[in-house]
Amino acid sequence: MSMTPTFLIIPGLRDHVENHWQTLLAAELPQACIVPPLEQDKLSCAARLDAIDHALAGIQGPVVIVAHSAGCMMVAHWAARTAARGTPRAIQAALLVAPADLETPMPAGYPTVDVLDSHGWLPVPRAPLPFPSIVAASSNDPLAQLERTRSFASDWGSQLVELGPIGHVNPASGHGHWPQALELVQQALALSAATA
């Protein structure tokens, strides 16, 4: 069994975007797998968690999660669901970038709180994650107030890295190629080594 981790890339609700830093990072990493976009039930939280399970089923050896936006909330829900089912999957570490605060109304063009609630997203799980994690937060993210992101990180037991005013860390905020992503992945791996 290879000890080189596979990096599981979990996009947000907008799924795979060619010029997104996650897509570009996947091409740089030695072993990476992107959770594929859903063909139906695109807003279903349960369908998203099933897609994560399906991706993990195809990976042997250690896994490092790299999630963005609503993908971070998928990770929290996935961890809670696997704990409740008693079917934990060992995750070496996770990098959670710019978690979208699904419990607070977001800008126009995004799903409303009521719609997200009806599709199983709310409330966002607040239990500590069962693996080392870093939450990387922007101070002017239009999808989450910094205080809310700090609260999520605290509840999840995550190390918080504040990135400054860099928007939602997506192509719209100028984050196609994002060299800091690789640095943060390395920090997550170091955190994992320190807690092993």
The 133-138 sheet, strands edge to edge: 32-34, 6-10, 63-68, 93-97, 133-138, 159-164
Say which CATH number the domain at 80 has: 3.40.50.1820
Domain count, the chain: 1
For 34, the domain range is 6-195
Nearest to 65 by CA among 7, 134, 130, 152: 7
Give the pTM.
0.95
Give yes or no for residue 97 having a pLDDT over 90.
Answer: yes
pLDDT of res. 194: 82
Residues 40 and 96: their CA atoms lie apart, in Å, by 25
Question: Is pLDDT larger for residue 97 or for residue 14?
Answer: 97
Q: Is 106 helix (H, G, I), strand (E, B) or coil?
A: coil
pLDDT of res. 196: 66
- List pLDDT tens digits, range 150-168: 999 999 999 999 999 999 9
Report which DSSP code applies to 158. P
Q: β-pairing, 6-10 with 63-68? A: parallel
Residues 164 and 183: their CA atoms lie apart, in Å, by 16
Any domain includes 1? no
